[in-house]
């Protein structure tokens, strides 16, 4: 299978997950096999209180992380970063979703971040899935500060880098889908 990777990057809150969600919906509407994970934010009183993980294929969703400042029922059983406490069981569940996501037409990994690229934790399995090339197009969310490190981890593959801004955000889902359809 000839596969391509698109890296979607942009500032926090710009709409990376929204773009991925829209790309997935457009591809599903065209009858394409779509798999992978989304990481939508959970909002409380206009404040980002947490992050969920969603299996794109089944629609199942689990709580992935909560903001460190967010009160909760004790600590989570997973790793923590400066801003987030991750649920270890949800990380494992997301990793299992990724391991079984391919083959597919469209693979979405939202996101590969500090846990994976700086600590070798989280959804590190995503790198093996991406290297296996058992998809036509992969859309991977990576923070701007980590893009160079992610590119180095691809062993010479040259993905298309799409930086989301408030000016191009609405057009990106259609542009990404066009890349997938150009391979048909």
- Tell me: cis bond preceding 103? Omega within 30 of 0 counts: yes
DSSP three-state, residue 4 = strand
Q: 94, 89, 139: which is closest to 116 by C-alpha?
A: 94
- All structural domains of the chain, each given as residue ranges with its CATH number in brackets, are 4-39+52-58+90-181 (3.40.50.300)
| CA separation for the pair 91, 93 (Å, rounded) | 5
pLDDT along the chain (184 residues), means of 10: 89 92 96 97 85 96 84 62 88 96 97 93 93 96 96 89 93 91 70
pLDDT attached to residue 74: 45
Burial class of residue 138 in the structure, from the number of CB atoms within 10 Å of its CB (0-12 exposed, 13-18 middle, 19+ buried): buried
pLDDT for the residue numbered 61: 96
DSSP 8-state symbol, 80: B
The tokens for 22 are 């829209």
Task: Supply the DSSP symbol for 145.
Answer: G
| Residue that is written with structure tokens 């150009």 in the block | 182
């Amino acid at each position: 299978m000839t596969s391509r990777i698109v890296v979607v990057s942009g500032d926090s809150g710009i709409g990376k997950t929204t773009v991925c969600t829209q790309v997935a919906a457009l591809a599903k509407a065209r009858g394409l096999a779509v798999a992978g994970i989304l990481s939508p934010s959970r909002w409380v009183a206009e404040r980002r209180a947490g992050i969920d993980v969603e299996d794109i294929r089944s629609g199942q969703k689990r709580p992935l992380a909560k903001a460190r400042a967010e009160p909760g029922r004790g600590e989570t059983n997973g790793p923590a970063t400066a801003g987030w406490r991750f649920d270890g069981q949800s990380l494992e569940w997301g990793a299992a979703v990724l391991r079984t996501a391919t083959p597919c037409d469209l693979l979405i990994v939202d996101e590969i971040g500090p846990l994976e690229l700086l600590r070798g934790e989280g959804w590190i399995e995503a790198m093996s899935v991406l290297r296996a090339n058992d998809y036509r197009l992969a859309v991977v969310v990576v923070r701007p500060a980590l893009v160079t490190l992610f590119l180095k981890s691809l062993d010479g593959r040259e993905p298309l880098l799409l930086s989301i801004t408030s000016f191009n955000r609405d057009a990106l889902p259609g542009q990404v889908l066009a890349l997938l359809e150009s391979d048909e």
